[in-house]
Structure formats: C-alpha cells, structure tokens
Structure 1
Amino acid sequence: MTPDFIRESLDALGKRDADIAKALGLVGYPEPRNREPGFGALLNIVAAQQVSTASASAIRARLLAAVDPLTPENFLAASDVTLRAVGFSRRKVEYGRGIAEAMRSGLLDAERLAAASDDEVVAALTALRGLGRWSAEIYMLFSLRRPDVWPAEDLAIQEALRRLKGLELRPARAASEIIVESWRPWRGVAALFLWHYYKGAP
C-alpha cells in the first residue's frame, strides 16, 4: 500500500465515519508498513509474538546479523544456540524451523500464498505450528498488502477502536467486525490508522 493509497482510503473513510475524520485531524496519516513476502516476513511475525515492538525490532536485527542471508536453508542450518542468542525462545526456534522446513519442501510457497484467497492464506498458515489467525492476517496486511484485512484479535487494534468509538470495553472479533463493516473495502487501511492512533492519540 502506497502513502497516496492510504491517504485516499482514509479520506474516503472519514467521509463515512465522523470518528475517523476527527481522529485524522488529531494524529494525521500513518506510514505504510509493507514487508517483502516470504520466509523472512513470516519469521518476523513469529519474532514479534508476545514481545514489545522494540524487543521484536532488536531480535530481528540480531537475527539478520546471525543468519545472513535469511533463507529457510540457512535458518535450518543455524544451531539452536545461535537462534536462542538472538532472542528466540525454545518454542519460537521450533516454530521457525517448522516454517523453514515447510518452505524448503514446497509445502508452503510464497507465490501460491500471494495468489490465494484470504481464507486460503489463513488455512495454509494456521496449519503450521506457531502461526495463528492473527499471524496470517498480519502477513496478508503487511506482505500481501491486502487493504481489507481486519486483524480483529490484535490488542492494540482493540484498544484503539475502543478509544475511537468511546466504548467501555475492548471489542472482541464479533463485535469489532460489526463496528467496522461500513469500512469495507479499506478495513486493513483503517487497521494501519488505528495502530497509528493508538500510539499518537492525546
């Protein structure tokens, strides 16, 4: 997604939703968060699970320094000691090796994922240990750049939506999907904005 596409989509959403229009006036437009599709993107998603954004960035930097280039083959060749030293837990090492083996064997293919429907991408990725629905949605949003993907289980998205709409509680998936139904076909762009709003709203 380009900056122009994000801006145009949010301007259109602002005309539909006064809360978005008001929030845009407060925090402005988010930057794109595009990632190259493939093994590295999936491994980055695993690295980001259950850690802060700063910690995930540090882990990614150490991983790229230790496993260069970051390919399935090189990741599989790296020792557990090396991977634990960059910040991967024992379980994340297992998850990463499972993803690497699936991509090396052809069971998981980046080009096939890019051509698949949203439901097919979710099914293919969640079949692997360590990748749940949130992981699949983040991959579709950042790497496949699909503008209508809604990562409803992301806690920051839930909190930002709660603030935006003045809700008492963070909305779970079913409730949030009702709230954002009118944001189609730009729910993914709205998610980018909500992360931005979460960090920058006064």
Structure 2
Amino acid sequence: MQTHGFTLTAEGPFDFGASLRFVEDWPATAALPSDGRALRFAYCAESDWRPIGVTVTGAPGGVAVATTRPAGPGIRGEVARILSLDVDGTGFAKVAEADPVLGDVRERSPGLRPVCFWSPWEAACWAVIVQRSSMLIASRIKQRIAERHGARVDVDGHAYTAFPPPVSLLDAGGLGLPAQKEEWLRGLARAALDGVLTTEHLRALDPQDALAELRALPGVGPFSAGLILIRGAGAPDAFPGDEPRLFAILREAYGLPEDTTATAYRRIADAWRPYRSWASFLFRASTYGTAGDRPGR
C-alpha cells in the first residue's frame, strides 16, 4: 500500500522514546501492539472523519510520519497535537526549574510531552465508557465498539481498527454498555457533529469557558471535562478543577494534608503557567512508571 510521509519538528526538548513508553503503559491504548520503535494506530481524522492509518518514528529533532492517505494541513496538525508537537515547549524547563517538586519529576523524563487521544471525540467517549468501570474493562469495551462499528485500516501490513466517527454512533445500539451510557454517547456524537467536540473550537476558548461548555454535555462531569480538554484537544495550559487521582499525587509530592482544598491545588498549578496541562500530565505519568523506573505493567 502506498504511504505518504512528512516530518514534524519539536520546539524545545522532546523524547519520542518516552512517548512510546507512555503509550505502552496507558490503559486507553492497551490494544495497540508495540515493537518499541514505532507508534502505529488508526483513527478517524477530525478534519474529515475518514479513517486513516498512521506510523510515527523518531527523527532528529522530532518525528517522521507516514500515513495511508495524503495528509493535508488538518491531519498534520492532528498528529502534531497527539504528540504535543503543536506547542512550543522551550519555556517548560524554566517553569520546572522554578518549582523543585515539578523539576524533580521532569528531570526523570525531560523530553516527555503529553500524549493525547486521537481526537476530543474519542477522549469524550472514553470518559463515558470508563465511568464506574475499571480501565481494563473500559479498554476492552472501547476496542469492541471499534471492531463492530469502526473501519479496519492496513498499517505496515497489519490491520488496525479505528474508533468509529460520530455519525456511526448516532443511532447505534448494542454497544455493550448500560442504556444510560449509550444515550450519552449518542449525545456526544451530536455534539461532535455540531462542532462542539473539536480541537479548533475547544482550543479557541478560555480554558475555564471550555471546561464549563464541556460539563454541559451529556455524561460529562468535572473530571471528564478536564480529560477531554487536556488529553483530547491538547490544550497546554488548563488545570482540571476536580481530579481526585491527580490531587492525591500532588498531596504526596508536596506533602499536603488530606483536607487540602481545590483552591490550594489551583494555587500550586498557577506557578506552572503556561504549561499547567503539561505539568499535570507529568505527575500523572509518573504513576504509570514512565518517568523513572518502570514497574511491571
């Protein structure tokens, strides 16, 4: 099969190997095979909702990308967003140096940048599927939905399944989810087709306005809204208002008491501007074993 190639250059430190190691440990990508050298996946491009296969390998100063169909500016921008290469990271080191706790976490994996979901739409669906479920079970359900309703794409001689586009889930039933979650997914599909669940729309808003708009969507609470904005749209400078797991990590890292308020966490995060999302990601990633020694998966 003919492939089409382009390169993406990082502004500031970037370690593609660290991104690969994160993907190997991230439950949302548990179904992806890995050879430790390339990131391969299939998804429905947000620019046109058509399936496309992608292979990413490391290159001097960035990455080399091969796609299964021609990649215009839209798709190039999406791949850049997925690897956070659409953000100038040259100032992040200075932010980390000013906060010794963050600096220690970054020092263990200095070139790791947030790895995002293939689209805000897919991030929103994951947020609904994983509610009141283990990440392992959620990953299996998401993969099953992709196999039933998504497209299969040949990537480097192997079949990869793309999670279905919004239009495919508008009237879909029998997804293996409770009726309420299936209704929420249909509502999210309508929002995506209306342009609400898109990177362009969400990144154009002030982070607090974007979070508020996302919380108004079906099945989306404070945690899910932060996930969609930060790990879906790839907004580099947002801080989730309510994420118990992140708060617990910060309590341990900064030696904070159990009754620390959300305002106090936001005050800590204010020192990370304009990279609040990146700093939050590094703290979470440290529990996956990506930064530093990696425990068994």
Alignment TM-score, normalising by the size of structure 2:
0.57
**1:6-25 paired onto structure 2 within 5 Å:** 8=90, 10-25=92-107
Closer, same or farther: CA 189–107 of 1 in aligned 2, 3 Å: closer
RMSD (Å) for aligned C-alpha atoms: 2.8
Q: Secondary structure at the match of 1:14?
A: helix
Distance (whole Å) between structure 2 residues aligned to residue 135 and residue 112 of structure 1: 17
Relative to structure 2, which stretch is displaced further, 109-118 or 186-195? 109-118
Tell me how far apart the structure 1 counterparts of residues 92 and 171 of structure 2 sit (CA, whole Å).
44
Aligned sequence identity (%)? 24
1:179 paired with 2:179, answer no
Whichever residue aligns with residue 18 of structure 1, its letter is P
Which AA in structure 1 matches 2:142?
R
CA distance in structure 1 between the partners assigned to 2:115 and 2:224 by the alignment:
15
Task: Return the alpha-carbon distance in structure 2 between the equivalents of residues 4 and 124 of structure 1.
Answer: 23
In structure 1, the partner of 2:126 is 44
TM-score, scaled to structure 1: 0.80
Mapping for residues 150-165 of structure 1, pairs under 5 Å: 150-165=239-254
Secondary structure of 1:175's match? helix
Q: CA contact under 8 A between 1:152 and 1:172: conserved in structure 2? A: no
Offset of residue 162 of structure 1: 0.9
Corresponding residue number in structure 2 for 1:71 = 165
In structure 1, what is the Cα distance between the partners aligned to 2:232 and 2:268?
Answer: 25
Moved more, 158-167 or 26-35: 26-35
Give 1:147's aligned residue.
Answer: 236
Structure 2, unaligned stretches of length 5 or more? 1-83, 152-163
Aligned to 2:85: 2
1:178, distance to aligned residue in structure 2 (A): 1.4
Name the one with the larger helix percent. Answer: 1
Deviations 1:114-133 (A, max 9, x none): 43332332232222221122
SS of the aligned residue for 1:199 comes to coil
Contact 1:161 1:170 in 2 (8 A): no
The runs of 5 or more residues in structure 1 that have no matched partner are none
Q: Which moved more, 1:9-18 or 1:136-145?
A: 9-18
> Matched residues in 1 for 2:284 and 2:197: separation?
29
Higher strand proportion (structure 1 or 2): 2
- Contact 1:160 / 1:197 at 8 angstroms: preserved in 2? no
> Higher mean Cα deviation, 62-71 or 51-60?
51-60
Work out whether residues 137 and 150 of structure 1, in 8 Å CA contact, stay in contact via their aligned partners in 2: yes
| Corresponding residue of 2:135 | 53
CA distance in 1, matches of 2:239, 2:119: 18
Deviates more, 1:166-175 or 1:185-194: 166-175
**Residue pairs, 1:86-101, within 5 angstroms:** 88-101=177-190
